Amino acid sequence: MSTSDDDGRPLVDGRFRLVSRLGSGGMGTVWRARDIALDRDVALKEVRPPDPAAEAAHPGLTEQLRARAVREARALARLSHPHVVTVHHIVEPADGSAPWIVMELVEGSSVADRLAAGPMSVREAIALGRQVLGALRAAHAAGIQHRDVKPANVLLRAEGGAVLTDFGIAVLDESTSRLTASGDLIGSAEFIAPERVRGEEGNPASDLWSLGMLLYVATEGYHPLRRATSLATVVAVLDDPIPAPVRSGALAPVLARLLVRDPALRPDGALLDLLLAEAEAAAGGPADAVPAGFGPPTPVAHPALLPHPAPPPHPYARPDHRPPVPARAPDRRRRLARIAGGLVLSAALLALGIFQFLPNDDGGGGTGALGSADGKQTGSADRTASPGGSADRTAPPGGTGGGTSTTSAPTSTPAAGSHLTPAGVRTAVAAFRDATGVSTVKQLFVYEEYVIAEIPTRPGARTYDRYQYRDGEVSRQGVGGTISSSRADEQPFDPTRMPWDDLPELAKRADRELKVEAATSRYLIAQRWSFNKDRPTLLVYRTNDYSATGYLAVDADGTVVHKLVAD
């Protein structure tokens, strides 16, 4: 990498000037860059090599990731479709270092960002589905399977239209499956098709299952198969029942035909497009200006530029419901044994956890611990705990069945034992400090029944893990990520300095002023907030089943500095 003579900023391949970091994912970092040869902005994907520990545990992993990145570029270069991200160029350094992929710059957010603000309308979701399906049909016609269709991999142009990206784990029909020869599961657990979980290569129908699950999440507002751990989620994908949609309207019959575990029974791409067209007509025709309304016009994968604060760590699951309880533990044990004995969960998974080295979908930046037969986590003696944070948000509205919600609206008075009280949240904060030896947090998420904290791995560290406090116990939920030294809004802070004594009055004010009718969920987020000069800020949320959302933004001194009132 060289530097520009003009301003000293880095130049890649002597041509692409790095401007700003847009975001990071499982396979690397995406930069906004300026192509000085053609005088245009592009997105430059810097493929991230694994850390030395990962390479030591998986010899050859560095070369695997490099090969995967090159394959992504070649797969995308074969496609020309308005809903597939365009690859312009690939830079392969002569010294054998990680490649750079030069792509079109999509000005917009992702579907994951959009869903963090609440579910889509049925008409929005159908329009989205037809666009993503068009991209998949073009890819399938070229012999390319995507294998990781999920909300984070669908970008939304500011001027309108969805774009399918991140073909980094795509498999070409004429290529081999060497990157999965070890048995590692490549793809995101929640959205992967069950036949791929069983170790089968799958076919285009497997991508359509993933699209169906994406649309289910988009309209229903939660993921029906997400569980406390990655392994438990894989088990659920295999054969847990999928609750009937209750909010999907004309889309519901399409989802019923699509989300079947026998790929031979799913509609093919052509039939699915016809079914979506019929659902669109039944829903009242194409939505007016739906593509432009998908997401705010901000650079993709750059949540600090979004107009609202970051959502809770699991945006696809309801925070106010528990997961379905397994009917019989022996059945769950047999299903776990079947997975562990197959290609999916190889010895590498049992030693380290396959999801540690693969792209993470949920936006939460972590992986769950391996699960035991009863769905609980396993770990060291001093950190055994109840199920993880995401487990508490996987049940459909109304409990474990698929009917209408019977959740009563919360009042300004928290339930007994709630953590949404000064004493409750202080107890959790003290427990985190005692368990980790660290007195600062990157973010804190407070719910009625539990608290989630992103905590530096040691005082002053640039890395952090995610922890949960529940039922008097602290449990480590998994790896969090890296704290950027250049981002003021990511720096840890002392949570004891937040205005916890003001919670009762803030709760009453939120109920009174945010205009969220029949609120079914309330929670708190403490974080450094870009819109409050990166100062530690307490966000008091109210949401309901109809996606109405409001919050109070409160400075550490107790002053309300901003208010979002539900429309």
Please say whether the beta carbons of 394 and 223 come within 8 A.
yes
Q: How far apart, in whole angstroms, are the C-alpha atoms of residue 560 and residue 550? A: 13
Distances (CA, A) of 410 to 367, 394, 423: 31, 20, 19
Task: Tell me the whole-structure pTM to 2 decimals.
Answer: 0.52
273-276 long-range Cβ contacts below 8 angstroms, 24+ apart: 273/130, 273/133, 273/134, 273/137, 276/126, 276/129, 276/130, 276/133
Q: How far apart, in whole angstroms, are the C-alpha atoms of residue 450 and residue 448? A: 6
The pLDDT, as a whole number, for residue 342 is 42
* Residue whose C-alpha is closest to residue 355's, from 240, 477, 442: 477
User: How is the chain split into domains, by residue range?
Assistant: 2-104, 109-349, 408-564
The pLDDT, as a whole number, for residue 305 is 27
The pLDDT, as a whole number, for residue 439 is 96
Q: Which helix (H) or strand (E) holds 99?
A: none
Q: What is the CATH number of domain 2-104?
A: 3.30.200.20
What are the pLDDT digits (tens) for 44-79?
887 766 666 666 777 777 777 777 777 767 777 878
The pLDDT, as a whole number, for residue 433 is 96
The pLDDT, as a whole number, for residue 48 is 66
Beta-carbon neighbour count of residue 22 at 10 Å? Answer: 21
DSSP secondary structure letters along 146-198: -----GGGEEEETTS-EEE---TT-EETTS--GGGTT----S-TTTS-HHHHT
Please say whether the beta carbons of 69 and 27 come within 8 A.
yes
What are the pLDDT digits (tens) for 183-214?
445 557 889 999 988 888 778 999 999 999 99
- Residue 52 structure tokens: 């030395």
Please say whether the beta carbons of 255 and 248 come within 8 A.
yes
* Residue whose C-alpha is closest to residue 360's, from 466, 446, 256: 466
What is the C-alpha radius of gyration for the chain, rounded to an integer number of angstroms? Answer: 23
Residues labelled catalytic? 148
The pLDDT, as a whole number, for residue 483 is 86
The pLDDT, as a whole number, for residue 177 is 42
Q: How far apart, in whole angstroms, are the C-alpha atoms of residue 73 and residue 86? A: 9
3 state DSSP class of 215: helix
* Residue whose C-alpha is closest to residue 232's, from 112, 348, 346, 329: 329
The pLDDT, as a whole number, for residue 170 is 61
The pLDDT, as a whole number, for residue 7 is 54
Please say whether the beta carbons of 25 and 357 come within 8 A.
no
Q: Which regions in the chain score pLDDT beneath 50?
A: 5, 174-184, 288-411
Domain 109-349 has CATH 1.10.510.10: yes
Task: Tell how strand 549-555 and strand 535-543 pair up.
Answer: antiparallel
Please say whether the beta carbons of 85 and 157 come within 8 A.
no
